[in-house]
Amino acid sequence: MESNVRRWSQSPLLLKDFRGPQSGHFQVIDRRVWEFVNEKRNEGMPITRAVTGLKALDIAKELNIPITEFKDSICWCQRMMRHFGFALVCKTSLAQHLPRDFGEKLLSFQRYMIGLMKKHLYPLDQIGNDVGLKKETDNLAHGSFLF
């Protein structure tokens, strides 16, 4: 034990630069799970830790690795993700995809609404959305008074 302490004190730079093992114990499982995640991401499917864990257990079974040796844990998943440089995030699109005939539908709806307004002569104060605006009559009906 003392010899180790002496050796460590003689090489502080090596100790400072050491960052632990750079590959896991089951490199084959890590590599195949990484390939699986990349394949599913390219197909546009979301991947969770549970899915990666189940795939890792399936691969361990294929390789005849006993369950007592390989444990699928959150720490294993985080180390594997850090090693391969990816995060489990869901792919989302920037905007909703509009139908091809969107322009035609919009024009026909606008024409329909303009026709209704001309036909019924709606008062301008009744056109639009009443979003959460309370009127005095609503307040009086519920028993609160405005001063």
Rounded mean pLDDT of the chain? Answer: 77
Is the C-alpha dihedral spanning 102, 104, 108, 113 positive or negative?
positive
3-state secondary structure of 120: helix
Question: Which of the pair, 96 or 142, is modelled with greater confidence?
Answer: 96
- Residue 75 tokens read as 């720490």
**Domain 9-84, CATH 1.10.10.60 — does that match?**
yes
- Digit-coded pLDDT (tens) for 85-106: 877 765 566 667 778 898 899 9
Using DSSP's 3-state secondary structure scheme, residue 17 falls into helix
Q: One-letter amino acid identity for 138? A: D
Report the Cα 106 to chain-centroid distance in Å: 33
Mean pLDDT across the stretch 2-14? Answer: 75
Burial 107-144 (b: 16+ CB within 10 A, else e): eeeeeeeeeeeeeeeeeeeeeeeeeeeeeeeeeeeeee
Q: What are the structure tokens assigned to 105, written together?
A: 């539908």
Residue-wise pLDDT for 105-129, tens only, equals: 999 999 998 898 888 887 777 766 6
Contact (CB, 8 A) for 57 and 72: yes
Instruction: Classify burial at 58, counting beta carbons within 10 Å of its beta carbon; exposed 0-12, middle 13-18, buried 19 or more.
Output: middle
